Structure 1
Amino acid sequence: MNIERISQPFIRKFPGDFSNNPMQRNTPKVVFATINPAGFDHPQLIAFNEALSEEIGLGKYEEKDLGFLVGNGLPENIQPYATAYAGHQFGNWAGQLGDGRAIFAGEIINDTGKRTEIQWKGAGATPYSRHADGRAVLRSSVREYLMSEAMYHLRVPTTRALSLAFTGEDVVRDMMYNGNPQLEKGAVVIRTAESFLRFGHFELMSAQREYKTLQELADFTIENYYPEITSTDQQKYKDFFENICIRTANLIIEWFRVGFVHGVMNTDNMSVLGLTIDYGPYSMMDEYDLNFTPNTTDLPGRRYAFGKQGQIAQWNLWQLANALHPLIKDEKFLEDTLNHFGSYFWENHDKMLCQKFGFDQLREDDEEFFTNWQALMQELQLDYTLFFNELERLSDNTHSPEYFKQLSYLPWDQEKQRKLENFFTSYQNRVSLNVISKEDSLMIMRKANPKFILRNYLLYECIEEISQGSTEMLEKLTKALENPYEELYPEFSTKRPTGYNGISGCSTLSCSS
């Protein structure tokens, strides 16, 4: 890899050096602190994303690059750093937070001018680690590496993963927060994004009344990541906020399309570029359930449940609006923009559902149809992804309604079959209103509905295999997630086996990583 291409615009833009006191947490008046990775003596490569490396301008992997992938032996042109931000966590103001486990290597600009930030996750403590060790365990690292790439190939805006490596050391984690800590294998992921800027970066500057830095940060973000904004003065910041709202709405709609549940939508986990960021206790949907949360820390309130993600996105945008108010200074504009978010979100959400069902356009009665469908899915506990796969087969006459009973996570009976067949009648009536051909309808469905999703039980099996020294399943899952709209491995296109019900990591999991 050509590591010499990495530069650091943030350090030039917002200076501050706390490298001599790496455990200091409060860093007022700056948005970052320089810090060096811990360094690991016996790293071992697990996976390297060569296609991504070529795309962003780093080139092919060589054995000499292994040290860099875990933060060892850095070239002279690199000064790593961690950033400070604030946030609302589970609805409560948490004050200053920051990159407790993420360390920036810097930024690459490839030959086409595309910007990419690179950071290690799990490479050691930073001034924002609080009382944690800054390390990461294998299970959370595998989950982030694979899922971020899965989302990219599903066409969902996301951060991405460049590499996954063992650190060669063990770390102690209490996985279920129940007083039973255990040793686990340590790992480091290198993840990439156009930018890792979060709502929380702006919240911190505003909360500290550092309005000059807040403006500089907004100007930096607009100049580098929002080229469509050409306005000036106060209007520039209004356009900035409107664009963030639109990108955020579009992102959550994509989560609904593929059945992704983030699990911890705190404001510090929200990207101002509209990317999926921070893969912690997430899950792809198995049985359809609007109240499903994969995060055991989110129980019993289920604040971040699947069906609430649009509502929470709007709530988080209210907090960002408060942070940007010193630049915008127009309460009515902010209120109108946020009130419009709901109508924009649900209209485009329903247009997305039209694509999943193969409808040519959104019609007036579709809201009732979708509401009835949701109630049916919830009552019968039908598998979300497989339902639409079977609907395609029903539409092209390769399967009959009888196959749908296999998709339920409940015992089946005639009453359930009757309700399902009544739905199919209403579906056929709705499809008959299309003005496009049946073939075009199927094409729309196939573009919207993945054949493969990275379910938690598959990740669980993969992590177990890697722990035992095998990467065979990792390689198969990587190939499958790179082609999610094809059925390369039919054995992966099944509902969660009953043997995995209730096993931590297979449907629900904690924030421990």
Structure 2
Amino acid sequence: MNIKNIKQPFIEIFPGDFSKNPAQRNTPKVLFSTINPVGYDEPKLIAFNEKLSEEIGLGKLNETDIDFLVGNNLPENIKTYSTAYAGHQFGNWAGQLGDGRAILAGEIENESGQKTEIQWKGAGATPYSRHADGRAVLRSSVREYLMSEAMYHLGVPTTRALSLSFTGEKVVRDMMYSGNPQEEKGAVVVRTAESFLRFGHFELMSAQKEIDTLQKLADFTIKNYFPEITSEGEQKYKDFFQSVCTKTADLMVEWFRVGFVHGVMNTDNMSILGLTIDYGPFSMMDEYDLNFTPNTTDLPGRRYAFGKQGQISQWNLWQLANSFFPLIKDEKFLEDTLNWYGTYFWEAHDKMLCRKFGFDELKENDEEFFSNWQGLMQELQLDYTLFFNLLQKLDKISDLKTYFQKISYKILDEIKIIKVEDFIEQYHVRLSKNTISKEESLNLMKKTNPKFLLRNYLLFECIEEINEGKTEMLEKLTKALENPYDEIFPEFSVKRPSKYHDISGCSMLSCSS
């Protein structure tokens, strides 16, 4: 790989701490601290994303590159660093935070001029580790490697994964915070993104009243990642905030489209570019439930439940607006923009549902139709993805009870089947109002509704196999996730098996990694 071409423009521009001191501490008035990866003596490559490597300009993998993929034996030109940011966690101000498990190598530029940041996750402690070891376990690393790539191929904005490696070490973790810590295999993921800048980077500078650095950070972000913004003065920052709001709303709609639940939507886990970032206790939704949260840490309040993600993203943008106030001293603009966000999000959300159902456009009474559909889905505990796959086959189905039972997580009696029949009748009435052909409607559904989702139980099985030294499941899932709108492996297009209903890592997770 062309690792000698990696550069660090961020640390050349912003104030930082170059002491390379890994001790946990506050680093006031700086945006980064240089830190060396811990280094691992016996690393072993598990998976490497060749297509991504070529795409971003790193090129082909050489035998010696395994060292780079775990942070060993780095070229002299690379000054590795971690960034400081702040955040609101579960609604409460947490003060200074930072990359506690992530270390940046810098950015690489491909032949087209596209720049990509490269980051290790699990390569050791940083000044922002908050008394943790900065390492990562295999299960969380496999989950991030596969899920970030799955989201990319689904068409959802996301960070991506370049490699997955064993570190050769054991890491002690309490998986469910139950007072039962155990040794697990350690791993490192190399992940990439156009930028890893978060809401929290701006929150930190604003909270510390480092207004010059805040403005410099906003200018840097606009110049590098928002080239469409050409305005000057305060208007430039207004256009920036408006664009961040739009990208965030669009991301939330995509999460709803595929049934993704992030699990920890703290402001420090929100990308300024509208990317899905920080794959922790996430889940793809099995049975449809607006109150579903996979994160045991979020119980019983369910702040970050599936159905609340639009609302929470708006709340997070309010916090970002407060941080931008020194640059945008126009309270009415900020308030109006945030109110507009709610309108824009729900309109985009309903138009997305229209595409999932094969409707040509959003029509009067569609909101009532969607509300009735949600009620049916929750009452019958129908599988979100399989439901829309089933809708595409309705003309070939004569026995609704048999087919809907296959996608339900509860027993459907005759009364519930009557409700299904009533809904299907309503659906056909709505389809009859389309101005597009039946074939166009079906094609719209096929492009919008995936056939394959990387469900937690599949990840659980894959992790179990990798722990045993097997990679067949990993290879199979990789092929499936690269083709989510095709049914390559029919055995994956089924609801979650009942044996996994209450298994940790399948239907419930924690933030432990």
Shift of 1:15: 3.5
Q: Report the equivalent of 1:90.
A: 90
Partners of 2:287 and 2:255 lie apart in 1 by 15
Amino acid at match of 2:221: T
Q: Report the equivalent of 2:288.
A: 288
Is the partner of 2:184 in helix, strand or coil? strand
2:391 equivalent to 1:391: yes
Is the partner of 1:63 in helix, strand or coil? coil
Q: Is the 8 A contact 2:109 2:116 kept in 1?
A: yes
Q: Report the equivalent of 2:173.
A: 173
> Which residues of 2 match residues 65-464 of structure 1 at below 5 A?
65-395=65-395, 397=396, 401-402=400-401, 403-464=403-464
Is the partner of 2:231 in helix, strand or coil? coil
Amino acid at match of 1:419: K
Q: Report the equivalent of 1:54.
A: 54
Q: Is the 8 A contact 1:54 1:60 kept in 2?
A: yes
Q: Report the equivalent of 1:512.
A: 512
Partners of 1:399 and 1:107 lie apart in 2 by 56
Q: Residue deviations 1:113-152, cap 9 Å, x none?
A: 1110000000000000011000000000000000000000
Structure 1 stretches lacking a partner, 5+ long: none
Shift of 1:25: 2.1
Amino acid at match of 2:502: G
Partners of 2:141 and 2:21 lie apart in 1 by 27
Question: Quick one: structure 1 residues 343 and 188, their matched pair in 2 at CA, closer, same or farther if it must change by over 3 Å?
Answer: same
Q: Report the equivalent of 1:4.
A: 4
Partners of 2:47 and 2:34 lie apart in 1 by 28
Shift of 1:18: 4.1
Q: Is the 8 A contact 1:393 1:399 kept in 2?
A: no
Q: Residue deviations 1:463-500, cap 9 Å, x none?
A: 00000000000000000000000000001110000000
Q: Is the 8 A contact 2:405 2:411 kept in 1?
A: no
Is the partner of 1:334 in helix, strand or coil? helix
Q: Residue deviations 1:247-304, cap 9 Å, x none?
A: 0000000000000000000000000000000000000000000000000000000000
Q: Is the 8 A contact 2:20 2:33 kept in 1?
A: no
Q: Is the 8 A contact 1:405 1:417 kept in 2?
A: no
Q: Is the 8 A contact 2:20 2:36 kept in 1?
A: no
Q: Is the 8 A contact 2:261 2:285 kept in 1?
A: yes
Is the partner of 2:166 in helix, strand or coil? strand
Partners of 1:339 and 1:172 lie apart in 2 by 45
Partners of 1:399 and 1:347 lie apart in 2 by 35
Partners of 2:452 and 2:5 lie apart in 1 by 36
Shift of 1:399: 6.4
Shift of 1:19: 3.3
Amino acid at match of 1:401: L
Amino acid at match of 1:240: F
Q: Report the equivalent of 2:19.
A: 19
Is the partner of 1:476 in helix, strand or coil? helix
Shift of 1:168: 0.2
Partners of 2:119 and 2:399 lie apart in 1 by 49
Partners of 1:81 and 1:20 lie apart in 2 by 8
Partners of 2:435 and 2:206 lie apart in 1 by 52
Partners of 2:84 and 2:213 lie apart in 1 by 13
Amino acid at match of 2:209: R
Structure 2 stretches lacking a partner, 5+ long: none
Partners of 1:173 and 1:33 lie apart in 2 by 26
Q: Is the 8 A contact 2:453 2:481 kept in 1?
A: yes
Partners of 1:375 and 1:71 lie apart in 2 by 50
Amino acid at match of 2:391: L
Amino acid at match of 1:198: R
Shift of 1:410: 0.4
Shift of 1:63: 1.1
Is the partner of 1:218 in helix, strand or coil? helix
Q: Is the 8 A contact 2:33 2:82 kept in 1?
A: yes
Partners of 1:427 and 1:351 lie apart in 2 by 16
Q: Residue deviations 1:205-224, cap 9 Å, x none?
A: 00000000000000000000
Partners of 2:407 and 2:364 lie apart in 1 by 30
Amino acid at match of 1:75: P
Shift of 1:384: 0.2
Q: Report the equivalent of 1:474.
A: 474
Q: Is the 8 A contact 2:67 2:73 kept in 1?
A: yes
The answer to which of 404-413 and 300-309 deviates more is 404-413
Shift of 1:109: 1.1
Is the partner of 1:222 in helix, strand or coil? helix
Q: Residue deviations 1:377-422, cap 9 Å, x none?
A: 0000000000000001115x36653411211100121011000000
Partners of 1:310 and 1:491 lie apart in 2 by 32
Is the partner of 2:499 in helix, strand or coil? helix
Partners of 1:355 and 1:401 lie apart in 2 by 23
Question: Quick one: structure 1 residues 412 and 165, their matched pair in 2 at CA, closer, same or farther if it must change by over 3 Å?
Answer: same
TM superposition score normalised by structure 1: 0.99
Shift of 1:24: 3.8
Q: Is the 8 A contact 1:390 1:399 kept in 2?
A: no
The answer to which of 386-395 and 133-142 deviates more is 386-395
The answer to which of 23-32 and 222-231 deviates more is 23-32
Question: Quick one: structure 1 residues 24 and 174, their matched pair in 2 at CA, closer, same or farther if it must change by over 3 Å?
Answer: closer
Partners of 2:415 and 2:292 lie apart in 1 by 25
Instruction: Count matched residues.
Output: 512
Amino acid at match of 2:311: Q
Amino acid at match of 2:21: N
User: Percent identity among equivalent residues?
Assistant: 77
Q: Is the 8 A contact 1:56 1:109 kept in 2?
A: yes
Is the partner of 2:162 in helix, strand or coil? strand
Q: Is the 8 A contact 2:24 2:131 kept in 1?
A: no
Q: Is the 8 A contact 1:296 1:509 kept in 2?
A: yes
